[in-house]
Chains A and B, each alone.
Chain A
Amino acid sequence: MPALPQTLQAVLETFEMFSDPADRTGLLLSYADQFREVPAAVASRPFPKHHLVPHCESEAYVWALKQPDGTLKLHFAVENPSGISAKALATILDRSLSGLPPSEIAAVTPDIVEKIFRQNISMGKGMGLMSMVQAVRSLAKAAEAGR
């Protein structure tokens, strides 16, 4: 199994240090508070449906733009104002994966959701968040293949 990017691994290790649920919640909220929506230069509403993350009830969208140096820049939108967890995950993915080559981003697997959120999410929410990670992987693989 390919190793996770070091930037993401560092995030996971940080979450492992927080055993208290309240502390983990605080950390996640800090990520959610730092969420930045996709800039208008990249996309504007109504967002194209093919960027919609399937199964995500927070109505999240994801983009992966290839940069001149071959790395990817990730962008997200979360239409549900209550989608705090989706915003937190989007921020984590953006901060830890943007700027990396597609091959490294494609190595990330959806099980990071459980490592970040642990069991304190519903099945539906967990599926939605994992789907967000899967969407990022798919875009990275497509970029890697030159599509």
Chain B
Amino acid sequence: MSDIAARGYAHPEMLASTEWVAEHLNDPNVRLVESNEDTLLYASGHVPGAVHVDWTADLNDPVRRDYITEKGFSALASRIGITPKTTVVFYGDKNNWWACYALWVFQLFGHKNVRIMDGGRIKWEREGRPMTKDVPAIKPARYPAVERNDKPVRAFRPEVLVHVKGKGQIVDVRSPEEYAGTRMHMPDYPNEGALRGGHIPGAKSVPWARAVNPDDGTFKTANELADLYLKTNKLKKDKPTIAYCRIGERSSHTWFALKYLLGFKNVKNYDGSWTEWGNSVGLPIEK
């Protein structure tokens, strides 16, 4: 943790180094959770002892565009063998993009004892650490049902609209092309994206991947993050902030960086994101 501790984060305890994870592979109080965009990855090889949390099957409601219920979360927690006291360490592909998404969903249910493995799968693999295809035999655990509480970390459309009218801080983490409205969807498949291109009025364009070091996928230092978010994009830590992307996964990564690494006091993820905003009647857009 010394390297992470030296980076000046507001909450360095939210990151676990690959070294720390390697030392705790057999720790009964730690559960490793792999969550990827490419759902084939886990089966192709994963950190020994890690369980797979599939963002589509395990975190999303199968019918409504929403997340799992209290009952669903308890069932998931039981399946992966965690209790409220378990330290859950998330990691995945794409610089932990989906790992942050899974961590964010866990926050809806108040599971606070969570971390992100800095650097994710890529760093672990490049360091030559062990990988396995064996799925761990997990003894189901009892996790009491906890009421889902969206309010602290999740923004819905009405709140975003109020935020827009009040000229609040909004961060668009999509690509500059998506932000500008020049990329909306794949040709011939307009329904895969949004009918209108552009961004939410007043949103700052800060692509999510700028928060990480491209060579090893680790998060940039607090000073570097401050330069990016506070200095260059003039965001204030003490002001309510909303992050969004297309469906709320990339923006979870930025939410994590702002909240835990820079210490933003009130930052939420608008998971309806551009898919909702860009397709809604009566909502303003900018290009």
Contact = CB atoms under 8 A, between A and B. Distances in A.
B122 interface: yes
A84 B36 CA distance: 11
Nearest to A55: B186
Say what secondary structure dominates the interface of chain A. helix
Contacts of B189: 110, 127, 130
Nearest to B36: A82
Given A131-B186, A134-B187, A32 B40 contact: yes
A123 B40 contact: no
B44 interface: yes
Given A119-B56, A122-B249, A127-B192, A85 B186 contact: no
B40 A84 contact: yes
B150 interface: no
B244 interface: no
Interface residues of A, number: 30
B93 interface: yes
A55 B185 CA distance: 9
B153 interface: no
Interface residues on B, range: 20 to 34
Contact of B54 (A84, A120, A123, A134): A120
A82 B122 contact: yes
B40 A122 contact: no
Given A32-B44, A130-B189, A120 B57 contact: yes
Contact of B44 (A29, A125, A127, A131): A29
Contacts, number: 71
Nearest to A28: B40
Given A119-B56, A122-B56, A123-B247, A82 B41 contact: yes
Contacts of A122: 37, 55-56, 247, 249
B192 A126 contact: yes
B186 A120 contact: no
Nearest to A82: B93
A88 interface: yes
B220 interface: no
Interface string A103-126: 000000010000000011111111
Interface string B80-96: 00000000000001100
Nearest to A131: B186
Nearest to B39: A120
Contacts of B44: 29, 32, 84
Given A55-B186, A82-B36, A120 B56 contact: yes
Interface of B: 36-41, 43-44, 54-57, 93-94, 121-122, 125, 185-189, 192-193, 246-247, 249, 275
27 contacts: A21-B57, A25-B39, A25-B40, A25-B43, A26-B43, A28-B40, A57-B94, A81-B122, A81-B125, A82-B38, A82-B121, A84-B41, A84-B44, A85-B39, A85-B40, A88-B40, A120-B39, A120-B54, A120-B56, A121-B38, A121-B39, A123-B247, A124-B246, A125-B37, A125-B38, A127-B185, A134-B186
Given A29-B40, A29-B44, A120-B57, 5 more contacts: A22-B43, A25-B40, A121-B39, A127-B189, A134-B187
